[in-house]
Amino acid sequence: MSALGRLVIYTNKIEQMAEFYYKHFGFSLHRAEGDRIIELKPGAAGVSILLHPASAKQKEGQALVKLVFDVEDVAAFCEAAKGDGLTFGKIHQADGYVFANAKDPSGNSVQVSSRAFAPR
């Protein structure tokens, strides 16, 4: 058995991406001297994000993968994020939970969702 430990995001906006995930989602930044990858570690349990410089041929902004962050109170999170300069779209009602979507500085889809807290 294995567990997902890290997710790599290729980007030309390393510093803006690091600031985005630090500021809005509480990740801490870890840089190893001489390494071009920045590792972002979650404040609680979860998957680390590795920010890797994109090559000239790589297109930024992933449409087929979405990063979903578990948030108990989506509306409160979105309101606080707006105060920090991150605007989420409409809050959607799903089957017993709510969610809202936004984009990171490289155009990747991110979502906050209360699904993890929904009674099942």
Residues 40-80 pLDDT 10s: 999 888 899 999 998 888 888 877 788 999 999 999 999 99
Whether 22 maps to a domain, the answer reads yes
Residue 34 has pLDDT above 90, yes or no: no
CB 51 within 8 A of CB 14: yes
What's the sign of the alpha-carbon dihedral 20, 105, 89, 120?
negative
Q: What is the mean pLDDT of residues 12-38?
A: 92
Residue 58: what pLDDT?
83
Q: Count CB atoms within 10 A of the CB of residue 36.
A: 10
What CATH number does the domain containing 29 carry? 3.10.180.10
Residue 2 has pLDDT above 70, yes or no: no
What's the number of domains the chain is made of?
1
Whether 41 maps to a domain, the answer reads yes
Whether 1 maps to a domain, the answer reads no
Residue 118: what pLDDT?
87
Whether 91 maps to a domain, the answer reads yes
Q: Is the pTM of this model over 0.75?
A: yes
Q: What is the mean pLDDT of residues 29-40?
A: 90
Cα–Cα distance, 42 to 69 (Å, whole number)? 11
Domain hosting 24: range is 6-55+62-117
Whether 106 maps to a domain, the answer reads yes
Residue 104 has pLDDT above 90, yes or no: yes
